[in-house]
Amino acid sequence: MAAAAKVMAVASNSTAAASSCLLLKAPFALKRGSNALTFTTGRRLSKRLFSCNAIYNPQVQIKQEGQPETLDYRVFFEDSGKRVSPWHGIPLHLGDGVFNFIVEIPKESNAKMEVATDELYTPIKQDTKKGKLRYYPYNINWNYGLLPQTWEDPSLANSEVEGAFGDNDPVDLVEIGESRRKIGDILKVKPLAALAMIDEGELDWKIVAISLDDPRASLVNDVDDVEKHFPGTLTAIRDWFRDYKIPDGKPANKFGLGNKAANKDYALKVITETNESWAKLVKRSIPAGELSLG
């Protein structure tokens, strides 16, 4: 089949900026709250947030090759006519607690789209199983995708989440704003909470965030604000990801951290740690295996 190509600009309100290695101090201590796990100031931890050697251009374009819902369909990212990896080439951190988020699956859709971590330039494609395209059994109700320049290290056991090892993928993010976005959109988001999903023994973080251009973005700054202004959303997200494999005859997924959403500070801690793991990966301090670093 001849590949069909379509190019479009990825909208962003950000100005072009070179990314740099920024220092983020993040103190945490764990206590249990009534509605969520809360992390408050305790001993100081100094973590370095890496976002090196990447230039963020707000007019990054996406180029679609092939037809949607086919095995050949790919969504590539281009900057000044050159392909860049959405995983490695788009910076994570924009400053002031704001991060880039790349949409893989628009809300109210069910095609299981994901960055192809083992292909050159890591384009977005539809996931497959036994040669067949994968779909969720029902629509996902939020925009879903990845945080660039993060990686859940499969050799690293998380002592706070049942000793689970990372799932070898970028960190997932669930964006709860009202707009339905497009595949490949790059949004500026602020994290609000984190869910520690355990999928067949692997740790698969779900960061909950909102796009800065959402009308209610100014109202929500932490997990308790989500409960107030988006009542029931955190429970709905947890239950959706817990149950989506059941129709295929698989067991429900589990959640660590007391089966509750952790707060914003803990979400930032997860982002910082997985960004550090990504930096080690691309510097080849950790074996990449079949992962593409291009």
Task: State which H helix or E strand residue 64 sits in.
Answer: strand 61-65
Q: Amino acid identity, residue 245? A: K
Question: What is the chain's alpha carbon radius of gyration, rounded to the nearest angstrom?
Answer: 18
Q: Amino acid identity, residue 98? A: V
**3-class state of residue 257 by DSSP:** helix
Please pick, among 136, 144, 244, 266, the residue that the annotation labels catalytic.
136
Please indicate whether residue 136 is annotated as part of the active site.
yes
For residues 167 and 156, give the distance between their C-alpha atoms in angstroms, rounded to a whole number. 10
Q: Contact at 8 Å (CB) between 7 and 61?
A: yes
Residues whose CB falls within 8 Å of the CB of residue 191, separated by 6 or more in sequence, listed in order: 97, 99, 173, 207, 208, 209, 264, 267, 268, 271
**3-class state of residue 165 by DSSP:** strand
**Length of the chain as a residue count:** 294
Q: Residue 150: name the closest of 51, 54, 60, 77 by CA.
A: 51
Q: Which residues are catalytic?
A: 136
